[in-house]
Amino acid sequence: MEPYYNWLNSLVNRNKTEFAAWSDLKWLNTYNAREAQERRDELTAKLNGNLLFKDTKPYYNRISGGCKLCGLGQWSCLFITGKCNASCFYCPASQLSDDVPTTQNLTFANSQAYAEYINHFNFKGVSFSGGEPLLFFDRTLEYLKQVRKRCKPEVYTWMYTNGILGETQKFRKLAAAGINEVRFDIGATGFSLDKLKLAKGIIPNITIEIPAVPERKDQLIKLLPQMIEAGVTNLNLHQLRLTTHNVKHLSKRNYTYIHAEHPIVLESELAALEILNAAREKSLDIGINYCSFYFKNRFQKAGFRTRLAHALAGPDEVLTPNGYIREYDGKALSYKAFRIFDVKPETNTVNEFELAGKKYFYLKEQVLKPTLIDDEDRKPVEDLLAREPEQIPTDPLLFRIWQLEYVERGLREY
């Protein structure tokens, strides 16, 4: 288990270094981790197997069409702007400037170019986020119209909003342009449903999407029947995560932080699972899913890599479920991943293509450099490539292969 523990220690060291100035943060330790794991196991067991995407997305009743596409890696999120008009304590970024619409580090000043990008990579879902899209409503509407005009009619579209600028007329225009779903962060409006109610009967699917704030758990449970009455079909709960932007706010709350690739709040996950079970116990007609950090950080990244790989890889290249290119000839093993840019990187190995007058550049980045496989290691390596082991590999090479082949879509740790 040494490679695994070394990896965990690297997360601990990195997180504590990044947040060294915040010495009062309460980090999860071995003493309270066992109790937390037992409570999580108890809550998930009550969900009767309603766990999707390698158990990273617990749910009750149903999940939205957009969430399904997200988990399958078939979704593109366009950040219409970087500017927001709310001040939620949990926001992970500053969101102070209006930027060119962006997704995956690609900028799209032209809405037609974005629609053609969706077509080229065969995305089946498109969302508009920010910042706050309603701050730049005409821009949001234009990109939605181009997606509807140029992409397949079955592409599922949705928008995220804090609802502050929500108006009946705006929702009517979005519906007329073909929006399938609007997701409201009611945490920005003191958990009021007033703005959301304006969309009832206009927007086909109304969702509330908020972080699972532990202090608001009981309030959210009491609100569930009112949500249903207001036309809400789904409640999506995120896990709070700690960033250098929100640490000044989160540090004032008595949260426990888990050492993941980025620190996450233990109590947020437990609150989300308790809300799911409260709805289950009352048999409420609403879909609720918990979007864990592990899902967002791994499935979404793996999904985008897979989209790129299927569109850009050659016919003889072997693609893994996580979107990596595996090169193995029985003697050496390596992994690569596609990266795409709209500004040409300084390298001689770049390729390019053009869509709707916009140029794209891409290359294959080395993830695991070619590693010689000797006769002793060959069978263990090939067994690992053929199936996921029940136990975490103890050999350093096998552990690294296991991470690339399987961990990206599953591992969680308390």
20-303 domain in CATH 3.20.20.70? yes
Written as one letter, the residue type at 76 is: S
Which H or E run contains 15?
helix 2-18
Whole-model pTM: value is 0.93
| Contact assessment for residue 284 and residue 275, using Cβ atoms and an 8 Å cutoff | no
**Phi, psi torsion values for 174, nearest 5 degrees:** -65, -45
Q: Is 354 in a helix, a strand, or coil?
A: strand
pLDDT of residue 1: 64
pLDDT of residue 53: 82
**Phi, psi torsion values for 46, nearest 5 degrees:** -70, -15
Q: Is 86 in a helix, a strand, or coil?
A: coil
**Phi, psi torsion values for 404, nearest 5 degrees:** -70, -35
pLDDT of residue 406: 85
Both tokens of 112, joined, read 């037609």
Measured in residues, the chain has a length of 414
Both tokens of 55, joined, read 């158990």
| Contact assessment for residue 178 and residue 156, using Cβ atoms and an 8 Å cutoff | no
For the chain, the domains span 20-303, 313-409
Rounded Cα distance, 4 and 176, in Å: 52
pLDDT of residue 73: 84
Half-sphere exposure of 295 (CA within 13 A, CB side): 26
pLDDT of residue 349: 86
**Phi, psi torsion values for 186, nearest 5 degrees:** -75, -10
Cβ count within 10 A of residue 118: 22
User: Residue 21: which residues within 8 A CB-CB, separation 6 or more?
Assistant: none
* Angle in degrees, 0-180, between the axes of helices 217-229 and 266-282, rounded to the nearest 10: 40
- Going by C-alpha positions, the residue among 155, 169, 160, 213 that lies closest to residue 187 is 213
Rounded Cα distance, 170 and 73, in Å: 30
Rounded Cα distance, 41 and 43, in Å: 6
Both tokens of 310, joined, read 């299927």
User: Residue 70: which residues within 8 A CB-CB, separation 6 or more?
Assistant: 125, 299, 300, 303
Sign (positive or negative) of CA dihedral 69, 70, 76, 78: positive
pLDDT of residue 170: 98
Q: Which residues of the chain fall short of a pLDDT of 50? A: 409-410
Rounded Cα distance, 15 and 242, in Å: 10
pLDDT of residue 90: 95
Cβ count within 10 A of residue 44: 18
